[in-house]
Structure 1
Amino acid sequence: MKKLLLNRLIDERIVAIIRGVTGEGFDGLIGTLVENDIHIMEVTVDTPGVYEKIERIKTQYSDQVAIGAGTVLDSETARLAISAGAEFLVSPSLHLDVIKTAKRYGKTVLPGCMTPTEIVQAYEAGADAIKVFPASVVGPKYFRELSGPLGHIPLLPTGGVNLDNARDYLDAGAVAIGLGSALVGRGGQVMDLADVKEKAKAFREVVKG
């Protein structure tokens, strides 16, 4: 399952990051993403009712959507997310206990790292791919430099990735991109769903490359 999910990530190349969205806006957002071929999503654990939301997506969309939990900072949160149906765990920073928990339950895990030392440490601990965050601080050139000595480690930039630079990250060696505000809006305020639809289509075209 872990290998299949990683292959799907590399194939589809987009992870939608949903933070703080509640109410009817949440269901509409998920439906719009699915309808426009965005099938890998993480709901951050600081979103109200996150575990119920993960469970609902898992039930409603079954094999259509790979649903994960984001901003997972400790093993207890990891276990709760997995119990709710999360297929993968994402962190903004490196937490070895989260990696260990994910491995114990056979789930994919993407810890957040910045330096080469963190990236190697996380990968050796069992991470499936590395979330480089915040990517805007280092830019696409950093990924190109890393692709030499660390080209065997899948890297996913998150934080500041947008339509203007997404292709640059992929061309520099990133296997996929994490999209939050550039795709779905910021701080729980969802873009108009028509805008989400257009953004989704535009990003899909970009990643086709």
Structure 2
Amino acid sequence: MTLSATRNDADRVAPSEALRRTGVVAVLRADSPEYLLPAARTLVGEGLVCLELTMTTPGALDSLRLLRAEFGDSADVGLGSVRGAEAARRALEAGAAFLVSPVLDLAMVAECVAAGVPAYPAGITPTELITVWDAGASAVKLFPAGTVGPAHLKAVREPLPELAIMPTGGIGVDDVGTWIRAGALAVGLGGSLSGDALRGGDLGALADRAARALAGARRETGS
């Protein structure tokens, strides 16, 4: 079967139980790896256990290995900003629990499908979203979601209800519930969640934001 063919959903790698249960992914994009571990410990302590490091952070693969060793099976630690097959292979070899791309990246999806690891490639139009879904994406990342809003997600899912969509980019902590109500599987939160924590800032404030985000998702899912 080619990547352009529609994949049997029975063969699709499902999003993790943690992602489906919590409804929130923390996107940890840092200028330096120095504060990643304290921030990650704070988030996991609050129950926000889906953590996305990014390839744009210096030493991202080493940080991935560090966090995987720190949390073991108690957190899903994946890698974002992955582009292309080679980067995907390196991330998978480093132990990424899932991969995320900011673009429509069929090569990344193919590597994840072969490895049995969840893949979250991006799109924004219905054509882009269904293309990566049919290639075997575990969920599709609506990006940048803040430029289109929850109404866009809801409109896309009306003719394409099979899509599992994870809006990311420009979403506020207190907007999580609105996106879940519009049909999102989960929401990716970056700067609105991390604040100054990845620069050595207030971890107590980070914990408060994480709790609010998780509460917003729970109110809408009833979990």
- Give the TM interval when normalised to the shorter protein: over 0.9
CA contact (8 A) 1:15 1:178 kept: yes
In the aligned structure 2, how far is the partner of 1:77 from the partner of 1:184? 25
Flag the 1:173–1:85 CA change in 2: closer, same or farther, 3 A. same
Equivalences for residues 127-142 of structure 1 within 5 A: 127-142=137-152
Where does residue 102 of structure 1 map in the other structure? 112
CA contact (8 A) 1:19 1:187 kept: no
Q: 1:163 aligns with which of 164, 168, 173?
A: 173
TM-score, structure 2 normalization: 0.88
TM superposition outliers: structure 1 runs of 4+ over 6 Å: none
Q: 1:30-50 CA deviation, whole Å, 9 max, x = no partner?
A: 110111111001100111111
Matched, 1:203 2:213: yes
Partner letter of residue 74 of structure 1?
Answer: G
| 1:53 Cα deviation after fit | 0.8
Q: 1:126 aligns with which of 108, 129, 136?
A: 136
SS of 1:208's equivalent? helix
Q: 1:19 aligns with which of 19, 29, 32?
A: 29
SS of 2:148's equivalent? helix
Q: 1:17-76 CA deviation, whole Å, 9 max, x = no partner?
A: 011253542211111011111100110011111111111111111100111110001111
- Which stretches in structure 2 are left out of the alignment for 5+ residues? 1-11
SS of 1:165's equivalent? helix
In the aligned structure 2, how far is the partner of 1:175 from the partner of 1:77? 26
Q: 1:64-106 CA deviation, whole Å, 9 max, x = no partner?
A: 0111110001111111111110011000111111111111111
Equivalences for residues 145-184 of structure 1 within 5 A: 145-184=155-194
Partner letter of residue 171 of structure 1?
Answer: R
Over the matched positions of the two proteins, sequence identity in percent amounts to 32
TM-score, structure 1 normalization: 0.94
CA contact (8 A) 1:70 1:90 kept: yes
| 1:114 Cα deviation after fit | 0.4
Where does residue 63 of structure 1 map in the other structure? 73
Q: Cα RMSD between the aligned structures?
A: 1.8
CA contact (8 A) 1:19 1:46 kept: yes
Partner letter of residue 55 of structure 2?
Answer: V
SS of 2:214's equivalent? helix
Partner letter of residue 54 of structure 2?
Answer: T
